[in-house]
Amino acid sequence: MAATSMTCKQCGTAMSLQPLDPAFGEKGALKVTLIHLPAWVCPNMHRRFAMRDFPVRLLERVAGKDMETLPSGKKSGLIFKSYHCGTCGAALEKGEGREETFDFDVMLEGLPPFRVELAMPLYKCPSCGKEQLRTLEDMQKLAPAAMAHAFKAAGLAPE
């Protein structure tokens, strides 16, 4: 649960929970934008996460529940990797995919709602025509670093 008041550790003034301007971070093919992210802000613009475990909670939510709703292919091969359609099993296109943005409304206990946008490449199956991520696991591996870059852009750092 989020605290109801907070004192700034840098300047000692009272902090208030405020929505931040959009913050962007990316790692590899994954781009993350955090919109109206709630954070503690003091009059001197020092910032703190809304909850001590906020980064972990958000990562678990986005890389788990939210990403799992996205269409995804399958990866095979240990050395020579190949990607296959999650629906029909045909080989997915090689090269650059078409970037698509997926929006998720996020509500974490005790905090105002905010939005997370994930932009990543989709690949079209030449057999059935379904557009999908190459693999969900590849994007989930990129999520922690992409979100850390977005937190840094928002002026938030772990305590």
pLDDT in tens, 32-48: 999 999 999 999 999 99
Note the pLDDT tens digit of each residue in 126-153. Answer: 999 999 999 999 999 999 999 999 999 9
Q: What is the DSSP letter of 106?
A: E
Q: Report residue 90 as tokens.
A: 């045909």
Q: What is the full DSSP assignment across 87-135? A: TT-PBPPPS--EEEEEEEEE--TTS--EEEEEEEEEEE-TTT--EEBS-
Q: Is residue 139 part of a domain?
A: yes
Q: Is residue 1 part of a domain?
A: no
- The model carries a pTM of 0.90
Q: What domain count does the chain have?
A: 1
Q: Is residue 55 part of a domain?
A: yes
Q: Is residue 147 part of a domain?
A: yes
Q: Is residue 158 part of a domain?
A: no
Note the pLDDT tens digit of each residue in 86-105. Answer: 999 999 988 889 999 999 99
144 CB-near residues (< 8 Å, 6+ apart): 59, 63
What range defines the domain where residue 20 resides?
Answer: 6-153
How far is Cα 126 from Cα 111, in angstroms, rounded to an integer?
Answer: 43
Q: Report residue 10 as tokens.
A: 């840098």
CB 104 within 8 A of CB 66: yes
Q: Is residue 67 part of a domain?
A: yes
Note the pLDDT tens digit of each residue in 56-66. Answer: 999 999 999 99
